[in-house]
Amino acid sequence: MYGKWTKLLSLLAALAMVAAACGSDSSDDDAGSDSSGDDAGSDSSGDGDGESGSVEVFSWWTGGGEAAGLDAMIGVFAETDPDIEFENAAVAGGAGTNARAVLASRLQAGDPPDSWQGHAGQELIGTYVAADQIESLSFLYEEEGWLDVMPDTLIPLISSDGEIYSVPVNIHRANVLWANPTVLSDAGVELPTDIDGFIATMQTLRDGGMDAPLAMGEQWTTLHLMETIMLSSMGPEAWNDLWDGSLAWDSTEVTDALEDFDTVLEFTNKDSTALSWQDAGQLVLDGNAAFTIMGDWAEGFFREVGSEPGTDYVWAATPGTEGTFQFLSDSFVLAKAAPNRDAAIAWLRVAGSIEGQDAFNPVKGSIPARNDADRSLYGEYLLSAMDDWASNTVVGSLTHGVVANDSWKSEIDSALGLFLIDRDVAGFQDALVAAEAANS
């Protein structure tokens, strides 16, 4: 459709190399370039010097740790560019489910925000670049020296035809199991390390009176659960193979993975569709559920509500995925024909700066995309995530835009919606085969 195979092959080749690149000693990188946000020298590309007016920035970071992270970065922007008014156009709803629908209609109507949040990978390249909706930002990388401080192998995920299209602010991990340690110790169980152990632990908890040990929220959180369970069941290589056509969707690996997912779903709360991901996290903090599987923005939420790592919540890789880091990266783009182009570029300079990233990420619950972060600013969980990002096998997330473009993802999501009603694994797998065929 969008030259899918070519793009996916380069994406997957890049992913295979990410761990090695991230593991390189960041002190080797030239982190000394000026990243103060508004002092880039030439004015030819609308640098931040003395810009004024306003900039409309679109995201879905409106609450539960997310807004606080954005606010921290806006705080840096207010210092570097005090004369630019920041118009926060965030639309509520986890994973951008609502926001992205609003964004799509604005783009269709020719009314783009100046800059918006998009995920590195196929969401960016196979959706916005493919539709010619965003500008190349290669000039900013050159001016700000960002190629020296962003992991080399993240660059192909935000590039097309040699041009770089976004400014990544972070790296999030999708495959994290969050747990209430008191619930576990009261039940005499440990954090599970594989799917069978996970299922057995949830059965023990259920036998002890906790009907729904795994708290989940609205449908996208179930897609998120599905991808982490598939990763666990299939392993990272087979997961990658699914997205470049080298493993068929009607394979037994997929059947087994969907059956595991079906079993895990048995232990989730019946009211999940009415809950946000924060609500599901709160069930864990309150001891009404033992677990939730959620990206590490959950840590931003846990901290915001005053919970203590290690005491109120503990974490592990989703059972069976230890050693694999299923990642996504939030990045900001520049709209084609942005109404406030110069101010948007000033914002993007802050988003890519060390000051911006070190303000945003400790609060958001993510690690910086840049590799020259000040580790002293990050808590225990995020330090462990930095180490895992540098040493694990890295694979991409489906729910959060890395491995499939919007068209493919939305067909998978529709198939999931039906499956959640009929729970017919064979029918679900057929629908996934059809989704792949329609997008190749």
* Number of residues engaging ligand GAL in binding (CB under 6 A): 13
Q: Which residue is nearest to ligand GAL (CB)?
A: 94
CB of 33 to ligand GAL, least distance (A): 26
Q: Does 372 bind ligand GAL (CB under 6 A)?
A: no
Q: Site map for ligand GAL, 27-66, x if CB under 6 A?
A: ---------------------------------xx----x
Comparing C-alpha atoms, which of 392, 425, 427 is closest to residue 264?
A: 425
Asked if 368 touches ligand GAL (CB under 6 A), the answer is no
Burial class (CB in 10 A: 0-12, 13-18, 19+), 23: middle
Residues 55-77 as b/e (b if ≥16 CB within 10 A, e otherwise) read bbbbbbbbbbbbbbbbebbbebb
The rounded distance, in Å, linking the Cα atoms of 276 and 439 is: 30
Interacting positions 238-267 with ligand GAL (CB under 6 A):
none
Closest approach, Cβ 64 to ligand GAL, in A, equals: 8
Among 350, 372, 369, 386, which Cα is nearest to 70's?
350
- 296 neighbors 267 (Cβ within 8 angstroms): no
Name the minimum Å distance from CB 67 to ligand GAL: 10
Other CB atoms within a 10 A radius of the CB of residue 209 amount to 7
Interface residues for ligand GAL in 168-207 (CB under 6 A)?
172
* Beta carbon of residue 62, minimum distance to ligand GAL (angstroms, whole number): 9
Task: Kindly tell me which of 124 and 191 has the beta carbon lying closer to ligand GAL.
Answer: 124
Least distance from C-beta 59 to ligand GAL, angstroms? 8
CB of 47 to ligand GAL, least distance (A): 27
Provide the pairing of β-strand 170-173 with 167-168: unpaired
Closer of 139 and 378 to ligand GAL (Cβ)? 378
Considering the complex, state which of residue 172 and residue 409 has its C-beta at the smaller distance from ligand GAL.
172
Binding mask 382-401 for ligand GAL (x = CB under 6 A): ------------------x-
Nearer to ligand GAL, 139 or 347 (CB): 347
Token readout for 207 is: 């036998």
Is residue 297 close enough to count as binding ligand GAL by CB under 6 A? yes
Q: Shortest Cβ distance from residue 206 to ligand GAL (Å)?
A: 28
Residue number, 227 or 330, with CB nearest to ligand GAL: 330
| Nearest residue (CB) to ligand GAL, 139 versus 302 | 302
Distance CA(283)–CA(23), nearest Å, equals 36
> Residues 303, 65: contact at Cβ < 8 Å?
yes
Nearer residue to ligand GAL within complex by CB, 167 or 328: 328
Question: Which x/- pattern, by CB under 6 A, does the window 328-367 give for ligand GAL?
Answer: x-x-------------------------------------
Q: Which of residues 81-140 bind ligand GAL (CB under 6 A)?
A: 94-96, 119
Q: How far is the CB of 422 from ligand GAL (least distance, A)?
A: 27
Identify the sign of the CA torsion 283, 402, 406, 352: positive
Structure tokens that stand for 418 in this block: 């039906």
Closer by beta carbon to ligand GAL, 127 or else 340: 127
Positions touching ligand GAL (CB under 6 A) are: 60-61, 66, 94-96, 119, 172, 295, 297, 328, 330, 400
